[in-house]
């Protein structure tokens, strides 16, 4: 007998958002919000079309049970806890640590699904996010963000705009220029990065000023999951470079001379 697949982070984010809005209480099966979430989850491009194979997949009852797992595993819940899963605990903690941002994540997911944009995004083998399944934004938002940045029309418009203004196609973080380094091979090559993450902007028309030119290395650093952050602006990455360079300079400075008489007393 086929069993419903485990809940992904994106699904848990949507379910936990409802629990939070309900005062960290479960949603009963007759709750309209549970019905709407069930419909939404069954429309997600996940689990190889499980919605068509399993009638109970993300049904109203299963959604209600999952909200129970999330509600009863809150650290301050005083009653008997249901089992849940390890990823449930991670998502619960993320909502506790940064509720506004996580609610924004859920809203961006909802908007992307409703507009149909997110449903059309397929998995790409070379996604920038190193661990999209555990990133706070979730794998679908990370994939959607990368797909937007790879939009060839958007990239061409950004490059053409820079050419007209005489702006060099160099990295906004480290000033690397593909054309200068690789000659004709690197001419007109550069990557683009959205300055505003999807969990904040949601579906919107991208303006050219919302994009920044980046080299491949700095682009990866902008997307890398590290110390709770999963999105950085070029300025954020530039600050990390400056901090690392300062640390190197300090480590290369000679040690201060020992106080008078210290060497003699040590001998």
pLDDT-above-70 percentage for the chain: 85
Average pLDDT over residues 125-150: 65
Distance between CA atoms of residues 250 and 121, nearest Å: 46
Whether pLDDT at 260 is above 90: no
User: Same structural domain for residues 243 and 134?
Assistant: no
User: Same structural domain for residues 136 and 168?
Assistant: no
User: Same structural domain for residues 19 and 139?
Assistant: yes
- pTM, two decimals, is 0.72
User: Same structural domain for residues 102 and 222?
Assistant: no
* Number of domains within the chain: 2
**Inside any domain, residue 266:** no
pLDDT at position 123 is 59
| Boundary-marking domain end, from 86, 115, 143 | 143
Strand intervals (E) in 184-236: 191-194, 211-214
User: Same structural domain for residues 96 and 18?
Assistant: yes
| Boundary-marking domain end, from 92, 110, 143 | 143
User: Same structural domain for residues 91 and 157?
Assistant: no
pLDDT at position 129 is 45
User: Same structural domain for residues 134 and 54?
Assistant: yes
Phi, psi of 229, deg, nearest 5: -100, 140
**Cβ neighbours for 139, distance < 8 A, ≥ 6 positions apart:** 8, 9, 10, 129, 132, 133
User: Same structural domain for residues 16 and 134?
Assistant: yes
pLDDT at position 119 is 67
Average pLDDT over residues 94-111: 90
Q: Which residue has the higher pLDDT, 168 or 2?
A: 168
User: Same structural domain for residues 113 and 231?
Assistant: no
pLDDT class of 39 with cuts at 50, 70, 90 = very high
Strand intervals (E) in 96-224: 191-194, 211-214
Among residues 236, 199, 230, 200, the alpha carbon closest in space to that of 218 is found at 236
- Averaged pLDDT score across all residues of the chain: 84
Q: Which residue has the higher pLDDT, 158 or 151?
A: 158
| Domain encompassing residue 208 | 146-251
Phi, psi of 152, deg, nearest 5: -60, -35
User: Same structural domain for residues 113 and 190?
Assistant: no
Whether pLDDT at 171 is above 90: yes
Whether pLDDT at 31 is above 60: yes
């Amino acid at each position: 007998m086929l069993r419903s697949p485990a809940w992904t982070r994106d699904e848990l984010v949507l379910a936990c958002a409802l629990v939070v809005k309900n005062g960290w209480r479960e949603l009963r099966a007759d709750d309209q919000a549970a019905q709407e979430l069930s419909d939404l989850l069954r429309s997600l491009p996940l689990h190889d079309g499980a919605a068509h194979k399993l009638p109970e997949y993300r049904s109203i009852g299963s959604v209600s049970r999952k909200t129970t797992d999330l509600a009863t595993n809150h650290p301050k819940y005083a009653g008997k806890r249901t089992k849940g899963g390890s990823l449930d605990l991670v998502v619960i903690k993320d909502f506790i640590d940064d509720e506004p941002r996580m609610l924004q994540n859920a809203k961006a997911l909802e908007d992307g699904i409703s507009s149909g944009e997110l449903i059309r995004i397929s998995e790409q083998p070379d996604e920038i996010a190193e661990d999209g399944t555990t990133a706070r934004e979730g794998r679908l938002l990370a994939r959607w963000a990368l797909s937007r940045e790879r939009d060839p029309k958007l990239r061409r418009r950004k490059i053409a705009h820079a050419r007209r203004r005489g702006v060099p196609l160099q990295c906004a973080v480290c000033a690397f220029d593909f054309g200068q380094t690789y000659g004709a091979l690197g001419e007109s090559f550069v990557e683009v990065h959205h300055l505003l993450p999807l969990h904040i902007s949601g579906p919107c028309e991208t303006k050219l000023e919302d994009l920044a030119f980046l080299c491949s290395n700095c682009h990866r650093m902008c997307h890398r999951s590290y110390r709770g952050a999963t999105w950085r602006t070029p300025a954020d990455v530039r600050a990390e470079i400056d901090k690392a360079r300062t640390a190197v300079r300090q480590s290369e400075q000679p040690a201060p001379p020992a106080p008078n008489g210290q060497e003699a007393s040590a001998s």
